[in-house]
Amino acid sequence: MGRIGNIVNRKNRQDSKKASMFTKLGRSIMVAAREGGPDPEYNSALMSAIEKAKAANMPNDNIDRAIKKGSGELGDAQYMEVTYEGYGPGGVAVLVECLTDNVNRTAGEVRSYFSKGNGNLGTNGCVSYLFEHAGVLVIDREETMDEDEVMMLALDAGADDFVAEEDHFEIYTSIEEFGSVRDGLKDAGFTFSMAELRYLPHNTTSLKDEKDLKSMQKLLDLLEDSDDVQNVYTNWDLA
């Protein structure tokens, strides 16, 4: 089984919150454009952010406006990248990536979310060692696709691992090879339902207690509903 089952399981619920998601995606595009320039051909981070936005059906006008804001054409939008680490109920490791224009506000809100979810906000480094930072590409399976061909193309392009699921293919890369693998598969005619850098847990933690399950779900809901929170990674085994 692939390593992103939890991501796929939560995707539909997250995709239903379009307005909040577009805000998060817009900030990501702005920061990428500010730091690497407005041309995605020469800015791989921006290209990844745009592809993620398009996969979520974000309108092109929103994408263009975010690029212009990031490059200073529509005013100077200053957002800082901040990562928080902590533990949820039952010792579940939680990594939270934020983009914020007010670090003090965001830190207070994240701390309160952990508290409300019966967790604890920790110090930098307390759980990050439990995760691997890697590239993840997902291709939805179609009847005309040959599994072996897709696998060989991915591995030849520099992928580290390939997993075939019933309805999709999962391709894992190092941070360094992510762009070349993505571009190689795109040139071969494939499109992605996911193409991004993520933190993948080395091992997972299960929750059996009903109270812990409800508290963990509450913690994730609070974090994901925050406009400042871009991504939430855990080692919680939803199965």
Are both 156 and 195 inside the same structural domain? yes
Q: Is the pTM of this model over 0.95?
A: no
C-alpha span between 65 and 81 (Å, rounded): 20
CB 30 within 8 A of CB 81: no
Are both 54 and 166 inside the same structural domain? no
Are both 147 and 108 inside the same structural domain? no
What number of other Cβ atoms are within 10 A of residue 178's Cβ? Answer: 23
Are both 196 and 100 inside the same structural domain? no
CATH number at residue 170: 3.30.70.980
179: nearest Cα among 157, 160, 201, 206: 157
Are both 210 and 120 inside the same structural domain? yes
Q: Count of domains in the chain?
A: 3
Are both 42 and 149 inside the same structural domain? no
pLDDT tens digit sequence for 64-109: 999 998 888 876 668 889 999 999 999 999 999 999 989 999 999 9
Query: In terms of DSSP H, where are the helices of the chain?
Result: 5-15, 18-36, 44-55, 60-70, 103-116, 147-157, 178-187, 210-225
State the residue range of the domain holding 110: 80-129+203-234
pLDDT tens digit sequence for 5-62: 555 554 545 554 666 788 889 999 999 998 889 998 888 888 888 988 888 888 999 9
Query: What would the DSSP string read from start to end of 102-153?
Result: -HHHHHHHHHHHHHHTT-EE--TTSSGGGEEEEEEEEEE--TT--HHHHHHH
Are both 169 and 218 inside the same structural domain? no
Are both 135 and 194 inside the same structural domain? yes
The region, left, alpha or beta by phi > 0 then psi within -120 to 50, assigned to residue 133 is beta
